[in-house]
Every structure is written in C-alpha cells, then in structure tokens.
Chains A and B, each alone.
Chain A
Amino acid sequence: MAGQSVGGRNYNFKCVLLGEGCVGKTSLVLRYVENKFNDKHITTLQASFLNKKLNIGGKRVNISIWDTAGQERFHALGPIYYRDSNGAILVYDITDEDSFQKVKNWVKELRRMLGQDVCLCIVGNKVDLEKDRHVTVAEAEEYAASVGARHFHTSAKLNRGIEELFLDLSKNMITKADDNTSKKSSSLGSGAGSRRSVIVVDDEQPTQKSGGCC
C-alpha cells in the first residue's frame, strides 16, 4: 500500500459544466466519458453526473463532472452547483452568438464567486457546423486570454478536441492544487496533525482541497 503511493498522490477534482441549453454540454461530456454520442447510443444513463479516472504522469486523477441546467430560470440557483469547484467548462455553440454572451456572464460570476482558484476552460462546440459560424475564432480566443481562461474548439459529433480539452484542464487543476498545497504547508509549517498527513497521500484529498478554496 505504502509503496504505491510513493511519488504519486491522488487528486479528486470537481468540475462544473456550464452553458446555455442546446449548446451540447451533455453530448460533450458523454462523448468524453463513455465515448458515446447521442445519435448512436441506446441505453440511458445518468448523463448529468459523470466520473472519469485519469493517470497523468503517474498521478492518479479522478474528475467528477457536474452538468448544470442551462435554462435561464435556474440561473439564480447556480452557486450551489459550482461552489468548491476546481474547474469549470464553459460551453458555447459557435453558430450561436447569444450562447457566447452567456459564457461571458458565467465567467464574470465564477470569478466573482470563486476567485482565481478555479481553472476556466471556454469551449466552442459544434465545429462540425463551421459554415454557420457566428462567433469568430479570434474574438473567442482573445476574450479567453483576457480573462485568464483556456479556449478550445470541439465537436461532440466528430469527437474532435475533447480529449485535449480534458487533459489540459486536468493538468491545470493539478498545478493549481499543488500550488495551493505548497502555499498551505509553507504557511502552516509542519503543524498538520498526523491524521491529516494520512489523508494527503490518500483518497481524502478533496476535503483538503475544498478547504483551500475558501
């Protein structure tokens, strides 16, 4: 047991999926986790909450992806979903200017509520419909850079750009988590109790993490 955890630690991340209805949030994440696209798969599953386990450079990462409802009427109730998130994926439809505006609103809100601790990824989905594009690449990427977010183009239908998106986000979250831990340990010194140190190497990472956010 001890031999395994030498060098690597377990990461547990919460990642929230935001975006207007019909931009393809659910398809995107389903494609990633189950490699299924809405057109083909037959069984229904709980597509609103998904877990993905990754191994990045010997680090074991578990991402919990929280889908949110895009309808405007649920907007006010968003904070309860994204509190304690490590990452957020903000999806818009490249054929829909409005959905990009929505993303901008979300970014503002997330930065206000969660500060700089959250890794943001802005995602232009449906690049298979390039000919109907209404949001230009330059505009989107410029905006993303201005708010300190990454930008990706994806197509859930063609399974394009999705792996890259999640890999990049995971790496970002790991860096942030490591930063936070080192900051914490330097500020706290070696004062952490014996039980806490057990947790750091083990599964209980999230508890520590979430504490660090606030």
Chain B
Amino acid sequence: MEQSFMKVMRGIGEALKLDDEQNHQAAYIQYVECILSIASNLLQNVRSNGDKVLVTAYVEKQIMLGKQCMDRISTLFHEFNNEAEIKNGNELEKSGGISRFAAPVPPLHIQPSSSSFSLKRNLSPTEIAYRQNQSLMRAYKARLATMSKNNPMAANLSLTVQRKLAENLAIANAQERAVSFVYENISWYCKLSEKMKETQRRLDEQAARRFMSPIGMSEEEQEQRQIYKKILEYEQQAKWLLEWRIKLSNSPKDQVVISQLVTQILRCEDHPLTKLLMKYQYKIYEKLYPLVSTKMATVNEICVPLPESFHPKRRPVLEESCDSKKKNNGNDKEDCDKDNDKEDSDKDNDKQDSDKLDQDKDNGKQSSVNDKQGSECLRDKNDESCIVSDIVNITVNDSKNREYSEQFVNIECKNNVENFTEQTITDLKTAVDQNAKLTEQLSMDNKKIYTSVRSMSREFESYSEENMDDLFDDDNNDVESLAGNKELDKIEFNLQRQDSEAYVVLSSNDVDSSSKFRDNLYKFRRPSEIARVRTMSEEAYVRHLKGVSQDIHHALEKLLVMFSIGYEELGSAEGQDQCYASIEEPFFKPIWKYLLNIFRLSNKTEETALAYCMTIKQGDLPESYGVSRKLCLVSDVEGTLPFQSAINEIRRLKDHYTMLSKLECVVNVCRLICECVENFYTTKQIQDGEISSTPCVGADDLLPILTYVVVKSGLPQLLSECQAMAEFIHEGYIMGEEGYCLTSVQTAISFLSSQEIQNK
C-alpha cells in the first residue's frame, strides 16, 4: 500500500517538475499516468477488501491527489485547445474557398515594428517578493508530498520554508521603504500612494475643465473624458510625451512636429490613443474577416491572363428544361452570329428587345438581370466548389427572391402592356404564359431545395447518431460535427424565416456527409438560379462594403476627434489634415488585405470584365487606343515597352498600404507619362539635330495613354483599389492634382470594363 502510494507521489513530483519547466505536453501525460495509477491503487484497495470501501487516510489522500491532477490536466487541455484554435484559423485562411467552416476570427497580426514598445510598470519590491514566496510555497508543497508524514524531516523543512518566507518579506519591505525614500523623499510608502491619489484627483479636475459642462454629458462625451484622463495619466509615467506637448504648443502648425508626435504616440502600444485605434481596427477586422476569409482564392482567380473558364461566352448554351427558354436560346445564338454584321443590326435589336421583354416578364427585373448573366455563370460549371458554395447561398436567398419576383411581375404587367404595338402585345402574351410556367417551376424548385436541405439535415443528424461512438473517441471530431448540425439547423431556420442575410457556413470536415450534401444539391443546379444567386451575393457584398466603409469613416473621425481633444493644437485644419495622414498607415495597414478583398468581391463582375479586356489586349500598342500619332512613342530599348516607366509605377500601386501613398503613386503614373513623352522627344532632338516642338499631353491624349498603361499593368484589382481610394481619401485632395489623376485612372478603367460589359 505504502509502496504504491510512494510511487504515485514520485510521479506527481515529476509531473510538477515538468509543469514548472513549461513542458506542458509531457506534464499532461505524466499527470494522466498518475491518475491512472491512483485509480488502479484505489481499485485494488477495494477489491482486496472484498469490495468494501475502506475509509483510511491513504485512500482519502489519494482521492485528493487524483482530483488535483484532474484539475490540472483540464487547465492544460484548455490551453491546448486555445492554441489549436489559433492554428486552425491560420490554416483556414490558406485553404481558401473550398471549405466553409464557421470561421473563428484569428487574432489580427500586427507585425510589431522594431520601434514600437509598451510602457510596462515595473513590479514593486513587495510584488516581487510575493511572487517569489509563491514559487517557494509551490516547491515546498511538492517536496513535502514526496515525504511521508512521519518523517521528522518534514517538520524541519516546513520551518525552513517559513523562515525563508519571512525573510523574503522583510527584505521586500526594506526595499520598498528605500525605494519610496529615494523616489519621493517620503519615508512611508502609504504617503506615496496618497500622493498618487492626489494626482488622480488633479487629473480628474483637469479633464473636467477640458470638457466644459460636467453635467448632462452624453455617454460619448463621458467616454472621451475618460480617455482624456487616461492620456494625462499616461503622460505622468512617460514624461517625454510632455516634452512633445510643449513642442507642439510652440509650433502648433508645424507639419513635421505634428506627424512626429502622432507617430510617437502610436508607437506606444499601451497609450490610450493607440489602444483606441486598435479597438476600432479590431472591430472592423472582426466584421471583415468572416466575409472574406473563405473567398480569398476566388478573388485571386481574377487575374491576367484570365483563366479560360472566366471568359465571357458569345454562344451561351443554357441547360434549360423549359421550352420557352430554348426558344430564347435560339435567338441568342442568332444574335451572336450576327453580332458583327452591321446590316442586320436593326433586326437584331428588335429581337433583342423582344428577348428582353420576355425576360422582364419572366421573373421580374431581378431574374432578368440574372438570366442575362446565365452564360457567365456557366463557365464555372467545372468549378465544383464554386457552384457548391453558390448553391448553399441559394437556400438563403431564394426566399427573398420569391418576394422580389412576385412584386416585379405585378408592377411590370401594369406599366408596360399598353404602350406596345400589337406585335409586342402578342409577344407579351406568350411571354406571360411562359412566365407562369417558369414561376411554377421556380416555386417547385424552391420547394425541392427546401425539402432537400431538410432531408439533408436529417440525414446528417442520423449520420452523426450512427457514428456517435467513433465521434466520442475523437474529441475534435465530435465538436465539429455538432457545429455542423447546428449550421444545418441554421439553414432550416433561415428558410423558414424568409429573410436572411445570415452567413451560412458548413462544416465539410466530414467528407462523407459533405459529398452526400453536394450530390443532393447538384440535382437542383440550374443556371438561372446560380446566376441569380451570384448577382444577389454580389449585391450583398456591396451592402456589406457600404457598412464597413461607414464604420471606417466613423472610426477615423472618432480618432481624429480624440486626438484633437488630447492635443488642442491638433484641432486646427492643418492639424487635422496632418493627423489624418499620420493615422492612416497604422490604421489601414493591418486590415488592408481584407478590406481590398471585400471591394473586389463586390466588384467581381466588373473586375472579371476588366481582366478579360486586359487579357485580350495585352499585345496592343498605344496606337490601338486612339492616342494621337505624335504621342505613340516607339521604344528604342530592346525588351521595353512605350511608357514603360509609367507601367512599372502603376504595377507598384498594390504594394502601398495607405490611401495617401497609393494616391501619390497614381499621380506619379500621370507625371511619368509626360516624362516619357519629354524624354522621347529630347532624345529625338539630339539624334535628329533639329528642334522640333514637344507636344503637350492634354486630357485628349492622357486618357488613351492611361488606358494603355492600365491594360499593360495586368492588374484587374486596380478597379477596386481606385474605388477604395476615392472612398477613403481625405476630401481635401479630391480637388487637386491628386483628385484629377485618380479620376483619370478611374475613367480609363471604367472605360475598359464598361466596353466589355456592353459587348456582352
């Protein structure tokens, strides 16, 4: 009995040692082994006594020990779990669009720059002593545990430890006294703390003065006051910030001082203003991450050269079960054949018009837009993951769609019928009939999807039940399948609720069930639905983007207000501008990747068109964009293009993180275009030996050249980049050269993308 108990004790001692060394994995195993041997000891004990529980000190002790071991491993387990979650999040980001987990938002990684630091208060001597004593106690307990109680050494040891503890405290107290004496010339520590309280009061008053009316303050004002107080408090500890305050008040309009001050403040990780910035930043990030994390890969597919599957199809072959659709298809085909034939264009237009009408009648405006894009969607046919994810969205959006279509059918019918000629009226009548059929079909499909998802979730549940034993063996699996169940419930719930923007996320960890799910859903894959879903999801992204943009504006505004409260001088117009410029980088840099992606998701159609345009025009020279002949430069250096330096510059746009530096880049592109012209003519003059005039670059030439440069950049994301710039740039820049250059680049981009969309 005693022997086995000793063994357990040794084991525990070892485990404690491992735990102290931060070797959690090994410690965990050791603890579990201890529990095991305790359990077997106890069992043996009971069995050897003829299945009767003996109440002895040993038994009690062992139970206690076992309990403590159990507690410790549960803490360790939670730690592991946390680590695993973080890792999981990172993997998720990499794997991209295929898996759809309920993505946990991983912590935002802000690369700490070498210059950043935080002002950590040093521990006071008493605190250090307290910690030392704690560790001493732990060691003592561990050692005591290894000894048997009868051992006379135990009492001895306890005495030693007590003495040591007392000694530690005494030393600490002495130190404390000495420190307080040195620092403040006050011999008693309590006096120091009193003084601190006084300072607090003074700061409070100061903060109150800054906010004129202490009564009737709104919550926001109170919060601002709190932060202001914290800023003053912080400056009490970091005296060098006070020096900056003086510098600023000496030269309140000096841009360099302002930007340096702001940078200095934001370098302190625990400065109240920095904390505020990070708080807002994280809020926005939390919103962005779940929206874009799984879609990163989809967005990256839109690049130059554009993958074949994304190319717009001139001859759409729609898989339609409905006859009317087939007829429409026929027309489409004809249209395409005659696309380039100008003579027939009138006739074609008529047909297109009637097509359009048909479609308008079909399911209201919503679906007509979608139908037109049916072809575009088909090119994803092979892209399983894409379709699966889209179809998942169907379940969400369909209910909403039904409402739309009903509404529009009513409105369209009333408004239009009277205005058309007899011919059109008959067309309309057939269209109405077709529409009725289609609506029927649509509602049937909706039902099918509804039931399929329901049965799906039932299957999933039963599957989980069947496999319950397996799942219990693996903790992780269990948790995830439960999550999956919940998500499926969510789908059902959404279908019932009829309105839904909720993010449906599926666990596809369980390969078996997810493939079943996929098979079921494939039965209902209809191009028009996919198209509708696509437009709807793009619209949803536009809405999300709007919300996020508002949040960002709001956050930046609040930060500016807080800075000008903290430093009165920053309230001036120059101060605000400079302050904004300095906040930009720390604010946007960590979240830019996600922000750009939501812009790109909401512009997917346009960007695809732009990418296609870029792909087919890659080889074109300035001549093909209508640049006047004298400005069609010829590159004399082998391997470089005309306007190469401007092209290089615009490619660098994506490497900038702040709106200001991006804007600067855009201005540089325009300037470089002029520089290229100038260099070209200077060389020419030297070569020819004659003084010919250098043409100036007006907008008539700048825009076509810019169009050429944009195509050569091969970056469809420019569209979103420019949109983001226009959204977040300080309005002061919009009027100036910066605004002009941005507008020009935007015009060139939308010229390209709209051309492609029109062609379709």
Provide the bound-state CA to CA distance between A68 and B750, in Å.
Answer: 15
Residues of chain B with a CB closer than 8 A to A70's CB: 699-700
Does B681 have its Cβ within 8 Å of any Cβ on chain A? yes
Does A46 have its Cβ within 8 Å of any Cβ on chain B? yes
Among listed B585-593, B597-605, B669-677, interface-contacting one: B669-677
Does B573 have its Cβ within 8 Å of any Cβ on chain A? yes
Residues of chain B with a CB closer than 8 A to A46's CB: 670-671, 674, 697, 737
A-B contact pairs, 8 of them (CB 8 A): A14-B735, A22-B700, A44-B674, A46-B671, A48-B699, A48-B740, A195-B571, A210-B731
Does B751 have its Cβ within 8 Å of any Cβ on chain A? yes
> Separation in Å of the A210 CB from the closest CB of chain B?
7
Residues of chain B with a CB closer than 8 A to A69's CB: 699-700, 702-704, 747
Among listed A33-41, A114-122, A132-140, interface-contacting one: A33-41
Closest to B731 in A: A207
Residues of chain B with a CB closer than 8 A to A199's CB: 573
CB atoms of A207 and B697 under 8 A apart: no
CB within 8 Å for A204 and B735 given contacts A38-B693, A41-B696, A44-B681: no
Does A26 have its Cβ within 8 Å of any Cβ on chain B? yes
Residues of chain A with a CB closer than 8 A to B750's CB: 77, 80
Contact partner of A42 among B691, B698, B703, B741, CB < 8 A? B691
Closest to B737 in A: A49
Does B743 have its Cβ within 8 Å of any Cβ on chain A? yes
Closest to B730 in A: A207
Does B734 have its Cβ within 8 Å of any Cβ on chain A? yes
Provide the bound-state CA to CA distance between A42 and B699, in Å.
Answer: 18
CB within 8 Å for A26 and B693 given contacts A46-B674, A46-B737, A81-B747: no
- Total chain B interface residues with beta-carbon distance under 8 A: 39
Residues of chain B with a CB closer than 8 A to A202's CB: 573
Convert A52-91 into 0s and 1s, putting 1 for each residue whose CB lies closer than 8 angstroms to a CB of B.
0000000000001011111101101100110010000000
Provide the bound-state CA to CA distance between A45 and B694, in Å.
Answer: 10
Closest to B671 in A: A46
Provide the bound-state CA to CA distance between A207 and B739, in Å.
Answer: 13
Does A161 have its Cβ within 8 Å of any Cβ on chain B? no
Residues of chain A with a CB closer than 8 A to B698's CB: 25-26, 47-48, 67
Contact partner of A207 among B670, B732, B754, CB < 8 A? B732
CB atoms of A42 and B694 under 8 A apart: yes
Does B434 have its Cβ within 8 Å of any Cβ on chain A? no
Provide the bound-state CA to CA distance between A199 and B574, in Å.
Answer: 10
Closest to A18 in B: B699
CB within 8 Å for A44 and B747 given contacts A49-B741, A64-B736, A202-B573: no
CB atoms of B735 and A30 under 8 A apart: no
Provide the bound-state CA to CA distance between A74 and B752, in Å.
Answer: 10
Provide the bound-state CA to CA distance between A204 and B732, in Å.
Answer: 7
> Separation in Å of the B756 CB from the closest CB of chain A?
13
> Separation in Å of the A156 CB from the closest CB of chain B?
12
CB within 8 Å for A74 and B747 given contacts A42-B691, A49-B741: yes
Residues of chain B with a CB closer than 8 A to A64's CB: 735-737, 740
Closest to A19 in B: B700
Does A203 have its Cβ within 8 Å of any Cβ on chain B? yes
Residues from 718 to 735 in B contacting A, C-beta threshold 8 Å: 731-732, 734-735
Residues of chain B with a CB closer than 8 A to A40's CB: 693
Residues from 439 to 473 in B contacting A, C-beta threshold 8 Å: none
CB atoms of B693 and A39 under 8 A apart: yes
Residues of chain A with a CB closer than 8 A to B693's CB: 38-42
Does B107 have its Cβ within 8 Å of any Cβ on chain A? no
Provide the bound-state CA to CA distance between A73 and B747, in Å.
Answer: 11
Which residues of B are at the interface with A, using a C-beta cutoff of 8 A?
571-573, 576, 626, 670-671, 674-675, 677-678, 681, 691, 693-700, 702-704, 731-732, 734-737, 740-741, 743-744, 746-747, 750-751, 754
Residues of chain B with a CB closer than 8 A to A77's CB: 747, 750-751, 754
CB atoms of A43 and B700 under 8 A apart: no
Contact partner of B735 among A12, A17, A39, A68, CB < 8 A? A12
Residues of chain A with a CB closer than 8 A to B572's CB: 198
**B interface: dominant SS:** helix
Q: Knowing that A25-B698, A38-B695 touch, tell me 8 more A-B residue pairs with CB under 8 angstroms.
A: A26-B699, A38-B696, A46-B674, A48-B670, A49-B670, A67-B698, A69-B702, A195-B571
CB atoms of A74 and B703 under 8 A apart: yes
Residues of chain A with a CB closer than 8 A to B675's CB: 44
Convert A188-201 into 0s and 1s, putting 1 for each residue whose CB lies closer than 8 angstroms to a CB of B.
00000001001100
Residues of chain B with a CB closer than 8 A to A44's CB: 674-675, 677-678, 681, 694-697
CB atoms of B751 and A73 under 8 A apart: yes
Provide the bound-state CA to CA distance between A76 and B675, in Å.
Answer: 29
Which residues of A are at the interface with B, using a C-beta cutoff of 8 A?
12, 14, 17, 21-22, 25-26, 30, 38-49, 51, 64, 66-71, 73-74, 76-77, 80-81, 84, 195, 198-199, 202-204, 206-207, 210
CB atoms of B743 and A84 under 8 A apart: no
CB atoms of A76 and B754 under 8 A apart: yes
Closest to A42 in B: B694
Closest to B691 in A: A42
Closest to B676 in A: A44
CB within 8 Å for A84 and B734 given contacts A44-B681, A199-B573: yes
Provide the bound-state CA to CA distance between A41 and B694, in Å.
Answer: 7
Residues of chain A with a CB closer than 8 A to B703's CB: 69, 71, 74
> Separation in Å of the A46 CB from the closest CB of chain B?
5
CB atoms of A204 and B674 under 8 A apart: no
CB atoms of A71 and B700 under 8 A apart: yes
Provide the bound-state CA to CA distance between A51 and B737, in Å.
Answer: 9
> Separation in Å of the A127 CB from the closest CB of chain B?
20
> Separation in Å of the A75 CB from the closest CB of chain B?
10
CB within 8 Å for A198 and B573 given contacts A76-B754, A77-B751: yes
> Separation in Å of the A212 CB from the closest CB of chain B?
13
Residues of chain A with a CB closer than 8 A to B746's CB: 80
CB within 8 Å for A30 and B741 given contacts A14-B735, A77-B747: no
> Separation in Å of the A49 CB from the closest CB of chain B?
4
Provide the bound-state CA to CA distance between A121 and B754, in Å.
Answer: 31
Provide the bound-state CA to CA distance between A2 and B694, in Å.
Answer: 45
Provide the bound-state CA to CA distance between A198 and B564, in Å.
Answer: 14
Max chain A CB contacts within 10 Å: which of B572, B699, B737, B744?
Answer: B699
Provide the bound-state CA to CA distance between A70 and B628, in Å.
Answer: 13
Residues of chain B with a CB closer than 8 A to A42's CB: 691, 693-694
Residues of chain B with a CB closer than 8 A to A66's CB: 699, 740, 743
Closest to A65 in B: B740
> Separation in Å of the B595 CB from the closest CB of chain A?
22
Residues of chain A with a CB closer than 8 A to B696's CB: 26, 30, 38, 41, 44-45, 47
Provide the bound-state CA to CA distance between A170 and B695, in Å.
Answer: 29
CB atoms of A71 and B626 under 8 A apart: yes
Top 10 closest A-B pairs, CB basis? A26-B698, A67-B699, A49-B740, A47-B696, A69-B703, A44-B678, A48-B699, A77-B747, A69-B699, A48-B702
Residues of chain B with a CB closer than 8 A to A45's CB: 674, 696
Provide the bound-state CA to CA distance between A42 and B736, in Å.
Answer: 25
Provide the bound-state CA to CA distance between A176 and B671, in Å.
Answer: 33
Provide the bound-state CA to CA distance between A68 and B746, in Å.
Answer: 13
> Separation in Å of the A72 CB from the closest CB of chain B?
10
Residues of chain A with a CB closer than 8 A to B743's CB: 66, 80-81
Residues of chain B with a CB closer than 8 A to A206's CB: 731-732, 735
Closest to A46 in B: B674
Provide the bound-state CA to CA distance between A163 and B702, in Å.
Answer: 26
Residues of chain B with a CB closer than 8 A to A84's CB: 734-735
Provide the bound-state CA to CA distance between A66 and B573, in Å.
Answer: 25
Provide the bound-state CA to CA distance between A184 and B703, in Å.
Answer: 37
Provide the bound-state CA to CA distance between A69 and B698, in Å.
Answer: 8
> Separation in Å of the A133 CB from the closest CB of chain B?
23
Provide the bound-state CA to CA distance between A145 and B392, in Å.
Answer: 61
Closest to A40 in B: B693
Residues of chain A with a CB closer than 8 A to B747's CB: 69, 74, 77, 80-81
Provide the bound-state CA to CA distance between A70 and B697, in Å.
Answer: 13
> Separation in Å of the A39 CB from the closest CB of chain B?
6
CB atoms of B678 and A43 under 8 A apart: yes
